[in-house]
Structure 1
Amino acid sequence: MSGGLYGVATNRTYRRAGFGAAVRRGSRPAIVVVDLTRGFTEDSYPSGADLTEVVAATTRLIEAARPAEVPVIFTAIAYTEAEASGDAIAWLRKAPGMRTLVEGSEAVAVDPRLPMRPGHDHLVVKKGASAFFGTSLAATLTGLGRDTVVVCGATTSGCVRATVVDAVQSGFPVLVPRACVGDRAEGPADAALFDIQAKYGDVVTLDDAVGYIGSVPAPAAPDAARRSHRRGDST
């Protein structure tokens, strides 16, 4: 019998610690697409990798969300010219390859293969790893009445993991479709997914995530909502 990614002893230790329980899925999810911008999805950029399969899987999930009007929130890391060329941001000193992620450049544009709807889908611009840190994401999710977050994007070991941790800390159960996240290397990605599954969210198949999103009831048509409201007023 396989001992899993890190062996029988590790699995036994984690079970004894009480990790790995299933999250409680809500009925009002949102999809958060973390940093699937060209600077991360194309290997011609210093910060990027070929994430064609991740983009395709995420596209399928987004399309499943449209009938029920499940909100889709995209994020992008973007710095001003001064920030990108300066010395003030510690993260850029540690990872100088990300200095190419400059506001207005193609590197920070959402991958055009994704079915983003400008003016309809949300876009959160961030400076750090987590989509929650220093942004309005938590307030946006709360304002939309969302109770569960499905996290996609890149990179699995970096911004995806940081976003998942902060989502849980903000009170949201989290699902991570394995096919919808990607990284530059397999080892860090596998370690991050192991950690997420153990402590922060459920790592699920794409079919599971699509089925869950597809089970969300479509909103009532305006005429039906008005009729329901009138019936309520008359009683």
Structure 2
Amino acid sequence: MSEEIFDLELLQKMFKRAKEIHTERGFQKRVGYGKKPGIITVDLANAWTKPGHAFSCENMEEVIPNVRRVLDAAREKNVPIFHSTTGYNPNGYQDIGRWADKIPLDELKLGEDWLDIDERLNPQKEEVVFVKKTASCFNGTPLQYWLTTHGVDTLIVVGATACACVRHTCMDSTELGFRTIVPEGTIADRVPGAVEWNLFDIDAKFGDVDPLDTVINYLKGIDTIQKRDVTANSV
């Protein structure tokens, strides 16, 4: 169905011309990589990664293995990893906001398996899993505090969806002073063209969208990060 209504070749022609315009005007510069990365997986819970839910996304058979490659490379160097999911209290939905006037947030019920991080990502016990209520992983959460505590200067963003939660997380990441990196092939959405368009625009304005192997090679090339000993300074 998607192939019948979506012409990727035409979109790529549009991007080529748009990139020329951006470059001529000084857009699409590179932020580059720092010395201490962190990873945020955006809503890679079952409701987004598996079929049968209102929030189910396309191309997960490609996205999940690619994200797993990023995570495995990061784990080898003790890079801090954070996983977000989005959910609401079904007993009255007092924690739901105006966003629910536009999209079916009531389908994201706290306590259901749909909100669990996809087991194919093999989340580790030391990796933080947190619930957010809005699009950005930063809005109303301690994510910035956690990243700062770990000394993170480069945030690698993977997940869903390109047009909302990934995009807003990238925007906030850059505005909070982090070098923002998005690996190609690690972003999903429900609508044809949404990934391509939003990655193009993120790369033009908010962060670097780089080839998957470039990001993995960066992770493999950094010094192993010493894990924080939270008991060392206890009183």
- TM score, norm. by length of structure 2: 0.86
The structure having more radius of gyration, on CA atoms, is 1
Alignment of 1:123-202 (within 5 A): 123-202=129-208
Distance 1:207 1:7, change over 3 A: closer
Partner of 1:16: 24
Gaps of at least 5 residues in structure 2 are 1-9, 229-235
State how far apart, in whole Å, the 2-side matches of 1:220 and 1:111 are.
Answer: 27
- 2:39 corresponds to 1:31: yes
Inter-partner Cα distance in structure 2 for 1:67 and 1:121:
13
Q: How many residues align?
A: 218
1:70 aligns with 2:79: yes
Q: Give the superposition deviation at 1:219.
A: 3.9
In structure 1, stretches of 5+ residues that fail to align are 223-235
1:48 corresponding residue in structure 2: 56
CA distance in 2, matches of 1:11, 1:63: 33
Partner residue, 1:117: 124
AA at the equivalent of 1:38:
N
What do residues 97-136 of structure 1 show as CA deviations (whole Å, max 9, x unaligned)? Answer: x322111111111011111012x00122100000000111
Match of 2:231 in 1: none
Per-residue deviation, residues 27-51 of structure 1 (Å, max 9, x unmatched): 1000110000000011210111241
Moved more, 86-95 or 104-113: 86-95
Change (3 A) 1:194 1:221: closer
Confirm whether residue 57 of structure 1 aligns to residue 63 of structure 2: no
Q: Which deviates further from its counterpart, 3-12 or 207-216?
A: 3-12
Deviations 1:190-228 (A, max 9, x none): 111111010011111111111011111124699xxxxxx
- Identify if the C-alpha distance between structure 1 residues 123 and 3 changes in structure 2 by more than 3 Å, giving closer, same or farther: closer
* Structure 1 residues 7 and 87, CA gap change in structure 2 (3 angstroms): closer
CA distance in structure 1 between the partners assigned to 2:162 and 2:217 by the alignment: 22
Counterpart of 1:233? none
RMSD over aligned Cα, in angstroms? 2.2
Alignment deviations for residues 43-82 of structure 1 (CA, whole Å, 9 cap, x no partner): 2101112412211111111111112100111001011113
Confirm or deny: 8 A CA contact 2:32 2:208 kept in the other structure: no
- CA gap of 1:76–1:83, structure 2 versus 1, over 3 A, is farther
Aligned amino acid, residue 19 of structure 2:
N
- Picking from 90, 98, 101, the partner of 1:90 is 98
Q: Distance in 2 between matches of 1:206 and 1:9?
A: 24
CA distance in 1, matches of 2:16, 2:117: 41
| SS in structure 2 of the partner of residue 6 of structure 1 | helix
Q: Normalising by structure 1, what TM-score? A: 0.86
- Please tell me the residue identity of whatever aligns with 2:83: F
Alignment partners' CA distance in 2, 1:87 and 1:173? 31
| 1:108 equivalent in structure 2 | 115
The change in CA–CA distance for 1:186 and 1:221 in structure 2 (over 3 A counts) is closer
Amino acid at match of 2:220: G
Mapped to 2, the partners of 1:68 and 1:92 lie a distance apart of: 39
Of all paired residues, the percent bearing the same amino acid is 32
Alignment CA distance shift 1:106-1:4 (3 Å)? same
